[in-house]
Structure 1
Amino acid sequence: MPSRRANRKTVAVVAAVFFLLAVAWLWRDPMLMVRGVFAAQRWWIGLSSQQVEAGGHRWVYAQREAIKPGAPTLVMVHGFTGSKENWYPMAERLGGHYRLIIPDLPGWGASERKAGEDYGFNAQSARLAEFVEKIRKPGSDVVLLGHSMGGGIVAVTAADHPQEITRVGLFDAAGVRFKDNRFGEQVLAGENPFAVYDDASLKRYIDTVFYGADAKPFLPWPISQAVIDWRKRQAPFEQSVLDRIGRSDESFLPGKAASAIDQPALLLWCRQDAVIDPSAMALYAERMPHALQVMLDGCGHMSIMEKPDDAAAAVELLIKRGVPR
């Protein structure tokens, strides 16, 4: 019979082999670690991964059922260069009181992208309306929440579908001509201020969208290099979307559509937003005078990640106390 020492040696060798295989796998695909962290977050919050066909695209989304049947369904739409995972911190704070549906928009994240398709405000709004119709449950009100570009898409969708969308939340939303800032000037000049192609531009991107040092994600090498390489591959798509939502005839469509939003509504911004200047909230409020207005301090463009407790509390206030015009 083999000795205990031999057994321990065998276990150590097997463990070392598995460790080296894991290192080799991560070396081939460092983004695997990022996806693993996202999967762990999803599991911890109690979300499951789902797919559905809507608007001619395959959507990938995270879902969590409410504790009580018939609870409102919250559909949470991410922004430019974002993904469904941006909403996870806020989703955790909402507990089990609501049914949560958090998709990757077509063209972004794990959802389907098709060459030559339009991914601007109008086209995505039409797809979002079909997605909502696919995932809605009878007897459950739909609360549509959108961040940044997603806020612009949500504004158009809510205006066009007042019977299907019962409440609306716009977080740092694009789609109005806000006070000039560096980000806006670069967009109007034909640039992509979010472009990432090296360490310096990755740091600039993170510093632009986040305000608090504690909120900024830590990306050690080789993860940082994997993110840079991935973003470089996304550059043509990002530019095409930015051209559509930032410099075309539909750039300010969400602001115009907002005048038709009669549903109970929430406007939430961060005072230090360096992307969509806080002056945008007042412009939306002119068109939505019935909306609850929340201005947070000490956070940047990613309000839903930097201040998830406050953002979740604002959503709950919208649902419990929101009053139509």
Structure 2
Amino acid sequence: MSSVLTRHKRGSLSYLRGGDGPPLVLLHGIPGSAHTWEQTGTLLAAHYDVILPDLGGFGASESLTEELHLNHDFYMEAHAEAVHQLLQALKIEALYLGGHDFGGPVALTLLRLFPDQEVHGLVLSATNLFTDPFVPLPLRLASIPGLGRAVVRLFTGTSPGLRLLYHIATHNKDAFRKTDFDQHLTPSGRRQTWRTFHRSLANLQETYRETETLLPTLDLPTLVLWGDRDPFFSVDVAKRLVNTLPQASLSLLEDTGHFVPEERPEVVAWHMDDFLREVTKQTTGINQDRSSF
């Protein structure tokens, strides 16, 4: 059983929403958009109020730097603030929260900046939250003034460069086709993608220090989803994340690359539903019937 997700807009953010039940907000990575979680969210909408925002400048959302006058630039703090504004506009006080890739640090930044936001469970998919990830060449050149910016823009800010990333990072191409990937590559989305990549890579220590510091203090039920064929973040990174978080469990997906929600939407929905039902049981005492996807 699944529901239909429909397009909405509040303020600068566009989002897909559908279903009935506890709010479940899922944030995409880079490159990405609300479509990253659309298939998974459509399945989960049978039991949850699924909300899939396009982060600022991605998909159909307006650019944060051009349309919003926030206290931060276009990076994770600004995205977290914009998502929080959306939650306030929708009058959502309690929710489940998830993030894939860059959506992971945005989700944790939301928790850090707005500790009063009531989050009962967290899902993290193929994401870096540490200050010392492995960075392949030529992206290691990002910290070199001038040259680094140009190199990162070539590989992460152009359609050919991003399509190369797709071919490298996607293992299950039958499920996640290049035409599906291309829907993320709007002009604004490409611009935000390379800006975000450059900001991340230019100074990883400074950029991720607060996120990494938060991890061992995050006493929140957490599901970590990972592909066993992810060429960017190895399974060892997933295990390190699980060992750092106080209440985390790992679901390792076989024959899956980096784009976990798009390569394995049904399997991801099953794991998330199982996890969220257990969290609901622990927090409310209600034991819901198990659904199948």
What is the TM-score when the length of structure 1 is the normalising length?
Answer: 0.71
Match of 2:156 in 1: 194
Residues 158, 261 of structure 1: 8 Å contact kept: no
Identity among equivalent positions (%) equals: 19
Aligned letter for 1:133? Q
- Establish whether residue 266 from structure 1 lines up as the match of residue 223 from structure 2: yes
Match of 1:308 among 265, 280, 286: 265
Q: Structure 2: how far apart are the matches of 1:197 and 1:317?
A: 37
Residues 144, 158 of structure 1: 8 Å contact kept: no
Aligned letter for 2:213? K
- Establish whether residue 206 from structure 1 lines up as the match of residue 159 from structure 2: no
Q: Structure 1: how far apart are the matches of 2:127 and 2:98?
A: 10
Q: Structure 1: how far apart are the matches of 2:178 and 2:127?
A: 26
The C-alpha deviation readout for 1:188-232, integer Å capped at 9, x for no partner, is 32143434344xx45422212311231342449xx97x988x55x
Match of 2:108 in 1: 155
Gap change, CA 1:124 and 1:219, over 3 Å in 2: closer
Number of aligned positions between the proteins: 262
Q: Structure 2: how far apart are the matches of 1:262 and 1:112?
A: 34
Gaps of 5+ in 2: 67-71, 143-150, 284-293
- 1:229-244 correspondence runs (5 A): 230=186, 235-244=190-199
Aligned letter for 2:108? A
Match of 1:108 among 42, 46, 58: 58
Aligned letter for 1:238? T
Match of 2:22 among 61, 67, 72: 72
SS of match in other structure, 1:166 = strand
- When structure 1 is superposed on structure 2, of 188-197 and 242-251 the one drifting more is 188-197
The C-alpha deviation readout for 1:119-175, integer Å capped at 9, x for no partner, is 21222222222222222446xx40011000001111222344264212111111122
Gaps of 5+ in 1: 1-43
Gap change, CA 1:89 and 1:132, over 3 Å in 2: same
Q: Structure 1: how far apart are the matches of 2:210 and 2:167?
A: 28
The C-alpha deviation readout for 1:8-61, integer Å capped at 9, x for no partner, is xxxxxxxxxxxxxxxxxxxxxxxxxxxxxxxxxxxx9511211112xxxx1101
Aligned letter for 1:164? E
Residues 172, 269 of structure 1: 8 Å contact kept: yes
Aligned letter for 1:302? F
Aligned letter for 1:105? L
Residues 156, 257 of structure 1: 8 Å contact kept: no
Residues 61, 102 of structure 1: 8 Å contact kept: yes
Match of 1:176 among 111, 117, 130: 130
What is the TM-score when the length of structure 2 is the normalising length?
Answer: 0.78
- When structure 1 is superposed on structure 2, of 313-322 and 75-84 the one drifting more is 313-322
Residues 269, 281 of structure 1: 8 Å contact kept: yes
Computed over aligned residues only, the root mean square deviation of the Cα atoms, in angstroms, reads 2.9
Residues 292, 318 of structure 1: 8 Å contact kept: no
Match of 2:4 in 1: 46
Match of 2:202 among 240, 247, 256: 247
Residues 219, 246 of structure 2: 8 Å contact kept: no
Q: Structure 2: how far apart are the matches of 1:297 and 1:181?
A: 23
Gap change, CA 1:260 and 1:218, over 3 Å in 2: same
Match of 2:289 in 1: none
SS of match in other structure, 1:250 = helix
Structure 1 residue 257: Cα displacement: 2.0
Aligned letter for 2:270? A
- 1:256-295 correspondence runs (5 A): 256-295=213-252
Residues 99, 106 of structure 2: 8 Å contact kept: yes
